[in-house]
């Protein structure tokens, strides 16, 4: 039986690993894969790490992983504090909210459902914030195409997450 402190250390280490993975995936995607020509939709590989955090560590740590990832990737790509950073942050928080809501429903949804909900919330929030920023509803015109793409990318990252979850043994944090 491990102590409370032990499991806290494990949880902290795992959080740090997931942040690192999320930053690597986010940065690789930003540099290697061009954003799709519709509303800056990305595949969202970094969200896989957030899904892992949500599955293993709970909602608080998932938000931490997501937000720290957005800040670090923005710092690396030089967009920190700019509008693009605000869009990314709003998308990340919206995706986290949607994924937590879906995850709370228990076994009704799998990680595929989490991912789809997350990516749909991500693009919707981004377009909404972009509309405020631009000062007109023009960005919202892209909502149908963005949601369609988000559905596809959500399914891709969801399947990848499920594949990973089935291979990685769940770290037992409370007792072992």
Partner 1 sequence: MTRGDTVLVCLVAAMALFALPLSGALAGAPAQDVAVLQGPAGVTRVPLDQDASYVVEGSSGEVVFKVRDGALRCVTSTCPDHVCVRSGLLRPGAPIVCAPNGVTATLEARAEGDLDAISR
Residues of this chain that interact with partner 1 (CB under 8 A) are: 34-35, 37-40, 77-79, 82-84, 87, 102, 105, 107-110, 112-113, 116-117, 120, 130, 133-145, 147-148, 150-151, 154-155, 158
Distance CA 124, CA 139 (A): 10
Residue closer to partner 1, measured from CB, 11 or 79: 79
CB of 147 to partner 1, least distance (A): 4
CB of 58 to partner 1, least distance (A): 20
Q: How far is CA 86 from CA 1, 43, 162, in A?
A: 44, 19, 29
CB of 2 to partner 1, least distance (A): 32
Closest CA to 71 of 27, 39, 14: 27
* H/E stretch holding 94: helix 83-104
Residue closer to partner 1, measured from CB, 92 or 150: 150
For the chain, the helix, strand and coil percentages under 3-state DSSP, each to the nearest 5? 80, 0, 20
Distance CA 36, CA 39 (A): 7
Residue closer to partner 1, measured from CB, 22 or 91: 91
Distance CA 68, CA 65 (A): 5
Distance CA 130, CA 127 (A): 5
Residue closer to partner 1, measured from CB, 14 or 54: 54
CB of 141 to partner 1, least distance (A): 5
CB of 138 to partner 1, least distance (A): 4
């Amino acid at each position: 039986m491990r102590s409370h402190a032990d499991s806290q250390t494990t949880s902290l280490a795992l959080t740090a690993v997931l942040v690192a993975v999320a930053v690597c995936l986010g940065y690789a995607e930003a540099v290697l894969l061009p954003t799709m020509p519709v509303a800056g939709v990305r595949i969202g590989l970094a969200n896989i790490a957030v899904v892992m955090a949500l599955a293993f560590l709970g909602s608080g740590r998932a938000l931490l992983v997501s937000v720290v990832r957005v800040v670090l990737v923005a710092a690396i790509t030089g967009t920190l504090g700019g509008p693009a950073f605000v869009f990314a942050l709003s998308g990340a928080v919206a995706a986290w909210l949607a994924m937590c809501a879906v995850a709370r429903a228990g076994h009704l949804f799998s990680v595929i459902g989490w991912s789809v909900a997350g990516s749909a919330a991500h693009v919707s929030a981004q377009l909404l914030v972009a509309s405020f920023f631009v000062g007109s509803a023009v960005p919202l015109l892209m909502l149908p195409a963005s949601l369609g793409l988000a559905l596809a990318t959500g399914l891709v990252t969801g399947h990848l997450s499920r594949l990973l979850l089935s291979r990685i043994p769940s770290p037992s944090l409370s007792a072992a």
